Structure 1
């Protein structure tokens, strides 16, 4: 019999999306599942929906906690998981029918020597309906170190918690940082650090819903600065283990500053915002030579630097055009 696989799904105010998510999970072609729904103090009808699904499918277990955030909910799921393998799905997303079996077969092809399999996302823009395949539909066996390097350059490997299937042992001491956003960049790298090899199948089996008012798209707040903290946490750990990845992690740190700068572009000016922008731009410019001389640096980074060199107003306008085109 196929091993039990635990699917952990945190739930918070997602009544509009939850049924589609759960339908995609309960109809997997891999059936030996434990589906763990963690209600993170939801205030809409999500818990009622979860309970209804639980009453119809014995594989579903619902746990509730007071609102503590996504990381805490995922950690509860890890504590409750009984499966030999673990995967995560966010409750506003959905997955292909072979989401589990595809990654399980990736592990199987090398006699389960790798503790982790990863796949790609299909970005789904809720406003326009546009879908973008983030993968290349190829399969590889890479070292954990190579996966970290690829992740730092946004090259096929993603930092996300989902679209990954790992052994229970791999997740034994793994925890998401509580009360942080962008928690994935501050934690997923540990899975790669602890995996000698990783089975990579860059087929888009996870449908990532990009929508307004999600955690990462709802405008700027001080919480968005967690991206810098989480990225620098990753960088410190990776450089300690792999000093030769310095250029890769520096590129990711600069990217985090560009990303945070973009979050501030349409915020009302204040002394605090101006100081933050100044600090971000200083960091970006200080590392310009190192980043642009790196042959692995993505072309978009070069374009971002060129726009910033033309002045902040030009950079702001350019980012606005780019954002509209991508929507």
Structure 2
């Protein structure tokens, strides 16, 4: 498990992808993994991601059908295993010491989320570090941010009227996935706004690194913020944010901040939408707001009144010194489109012919490949046959080796038994010699006893036959009586 999981949603980003991914891989902090989610790209993005994956084992590539940035980020969250999660967009890049300093701050403070500063730039222009997006150091006097945490209550204006992008924050994974179940809104633009509001009001420990790490590219036409067709989604986003505040019982506390956010966000896309319908929808929403109850900045009130007091979209554009797009000559445009269509048909016919030739070449290649595959299969079969024979020889060799070990063990046992028998035989011989010696001594003693017995018998016979023995017989009888 790595310390940081970097989540990168990718859609048609081939132009900037190499620079962006390299800025991640070149970090001074190396204990991280990168989860790249290809969201149905139609350019070379997926091929480029797979090439990066081959070069660096820290990269994981997930390919999915196109369903928007929110969905792709959610897939990343589900697959994240690092202690912390960092979101990254594939058209931007990041300073090489970013992960090192963000992780150090997060660990020192046991943070649920860590903020950092941001800079904007256009391709070919100097990166402007003089105007950092988030200046939280101005909210707190003389603090050591390496050992300092706070909550949304300390920075209420940053809950909505601030910078919603997830790539200026490092999140603790358990805070997102275990303690809560935070996910991005799907199938809608500006999905990072509700995510920001939900996470910041739930975080118990927020910290800040007062340095600019992330370089945000403002000139990418594929960026969500540059897509005017998504402007209608901001109406839904405002409703979602309002519901979040009410569900957490803090709407009244943030009422002025919320309506300031709503006015700014809705008006922001009126001109770029180029839509009378969107203009009317915004005007309707703004007129429902009772601005007299709110403490709104003067510049916000001015923008509010400018739109609400305009009669129609055309007048609103004039008030803002914006010219409406010129009327288009449809007849001329249709003719140009027809000419272009014919040119495309010619190109298509050429492509079809070339494709037919390529198909023939491809069939020849496939035929050759089949022959190669068959030959390869034959070689594999031969190799498998040799391998089986080798395995059998190895098995027989193991059997013989085991038998040799058994024989060798039996030999050693016989040698030990023989030594024991020799020793036992020697002992028995010594014992037998001692027995024979004792037997001879007993025989000699027996002869001596027999000889003594004969002599004693003779003496006894002499005594019994003597007159003294006869005369003393009565006395022996009397003695025997007294003994009784």
What's the TM-score, normalizing by structure 2?
A: 0.57
Deviation, 1:146, is 4.2
DSSP 3-state at the match of 1:102: helix
1:291-316 deviation digits (Å, cap 9, x = unpaired): 8733xx3x642452465458624443
In structure 2, the CA distance between the partners of 1:205 and 1:240, relative to structure 1 (3 Å rule), is same
- The verdict on how the C-alpha distance between 1:202 and 1:151 changes in structure 2, with shifts beyond 3 A counting, is farther
Aligned to 1:234: 241
Higher deviation after alignment, 101-110 or 55-64: 101-110
Dislocated runs of 4+, deviation >6 Å: none
Q: Determine if contact 1:6/1:82 at 8 Å carries over to the other structure.
A: yes
Stretches of structure 2 that go unaligned for 5 or more consecutive residues are 138-144, 325-484
Contact 2:33–2:59 (8 Å) recurs in 1 = yes
Counterpart of 2:161 in structure 1 is: 153
CA RMSD, 1 decimal: 2.7
Give the Cα separation in 1 of the matches to 2:263 and 2:80.
37
Question: Do the aligned residues in 1 keep the contact of 2:115 with 2:209 (CA within 8 Å)?
Answer: yes
Q: How does 1:111-130 map to 2 (within 5 A)?
A: 112=110, 114-126=111-123
Deviation at 1:60, TM superposition (A): 1.0
Supply the distance in 2 between the matched residues of 1:177 and 1:307 (Cα, whole angstroms). 32
Distance in structure 1 (CA, Å) of the matches to 2:235 and 2:51: 40
State yes or no: 1:195 paired with 2:178. no
Residues 199-208 or 70-79, more deviating: 199-208
1:37–1:212 distance in 2 versus 1, CA, 3 Å: closer
Match of 1:301 in 2: 300
Instruction: Return 5+ residue gaps in structure 1 as ranges.
Output: 268-272, 321-327
Q: CA deviation at 1:126?
A: 3.0
Residue 256 of structure 2 is matched in structure 1 by 247
- 1:32 matches 2:27: no
Partners of 2:317 and 2:323 within 8 A in 1:
no
1:130-163 alpha-carbon deviations (Å, 9 max, x no partner): 6353233835633134455323233xxx211212
2:286 aligned residue (281, 284, 287): 284
Change in 2 beyond 3 A, CA 1:282/1:319: farther
Worse-matched range after superposition: 276-285 or 76-85: 276-285
CA distance in 1, matches of 2:66, 2:77: 17
Structure with the higher helix share, 1 or 2: 2
Q: CA deviation at 1:30?
A: 1.1
Whose strand proportion is higher, 1 or 2? Answer: 1
SS of residue matched to 1:121: strand
Match of 1:317 in 2: 321
Rate the CA distance shift 1:315–1:281 in 2: closer, same or farther, 3 A: farther
Which stretch has the larger CA shift, 229-238 or 283-292?
283-292
Note the C-alpha offset of 1:214: 2.3
Once the two structures are TM-superposed, the CA of residue 255 in structure 1 deviates from its matched residue by: 1.5
- C-alpha contact (below 8 Å) 1:250/1:291 kept by paired residues: no
Change (3 A) 1:127 1:217: farther
Q: Structure 1 pair 282/206, CA: closer, same or farther in 2 (3 Å)? A: same
Question: How far is the alpha carbon of 1:201 from its aligned partner?
Answer: 2.6
CA contact (8 A) 2:113 2:169 kept: yes
| TM-score computed with the length of structure 1 as normaliser | 0.83
- Of 207, 211, 216, the residue aligned with 2:224 is 216
Decide whether the 8 Å contact of 1:153 with 1:252 is kept in 2: yes
CA contact (8 A) 1:7 1:88 kept: yes
- Please identify the structure whose Cα radius of gyration is greater: 2
How far, CA to CA, are the matches of 2:203 and 2:19 in structure 1? 33
